[in-house]
Chain A
Amino acid sequence: DSGVTQTPKHLITATGQRVTLRCSPRSGDLSVYWYQQSLDQGLQFLIQYYNGEERAKGNILERFSAQQFPDLHSELNLSSLELGDSALYFCASSPLRDRKETQYFGPGTRLLVL
């Protein structure tokens, strides 16, 4: 158990809908990362927050947004969902702001868009 929790574990929704994925980092970790994992693309970095502020952005679509709250939990919002958004979404946390070599992953949320 990495200490990172994610809810829900599974989510089934329809195209055009909006969903929110939630992540609680390990105790004491200030950095939260979001990743998308699909079979053909592998693990793709979406966005990083550090202590409530956006720190780095990756291949995140404009339809997606995230935030980190004062208690350090984070939410990833996915809107106007498309079939291609079906994937595993992982959250990871790290105690470091900029050095990214040690990240601890949560169990993921499996999203299926029908």
Chain B
Amino acid sequence: QKEVEQDPGPLSVPEGAIVSLNCTYSNSAFQYFMWYRQYSRKGPELLMYTYSSGNKEDGRFTAQVDKSSKYISLFIRDSQPSDSATYLCAASGGYQKVTFGIGTKLQVIP
């Protein structure tokens, strides 16, 4: 079992939809949770990171962590075609290596 599990998709949504991307993790030592966006043939770009449980909002993006259920979510409001990319969740114990999910490929259709 991988420490961070993520459905690879693909996920197709119409423009303007609310997108929900999710991951689960198994390592209780994880305290930092990250979301990266990766466009085709580019490097991952850090979108957001959160510490412990709770929500963090940045523009159209909201990251949510529920440590009790070991569940990580990213919500994208008013999705745009430019949001089409692969979204990688990641987790770390801070002082440990970052463990990435395999990534969910998202396509936002105009």
Which A residues are closer than 8 A to B by beta carbons? 2, 4, 41-45, 48, 56, 58, 90, 92, 98-108, 110
Contacts and interface: CB of A to CB of B under 8 A. Distances in A.
Contacts, number: 59
Interface of B: 32, 34, 36, 41-46, 49, 51, 88, 92, 94-103
Given A42-B100, A56-B97, A100 B43 contact: no
A61 B100 CA distance: 19
Contacts of B99: 45
6 contacts: A45-B99, A100-B94, A100-B97, A101-B34, A105-B44, A108-B42
Contacts of A105: 36, 43-46
B46 A42 contact: no
A101 B43 contact: no
A92 B95 CA distance: 16
Identify which of B49, B51, B96, B98 gathers the most chain A CB atoms within 10 Å of its CB.
Answer: B98
B43 A103 contact: no
Contacts of B36: 105
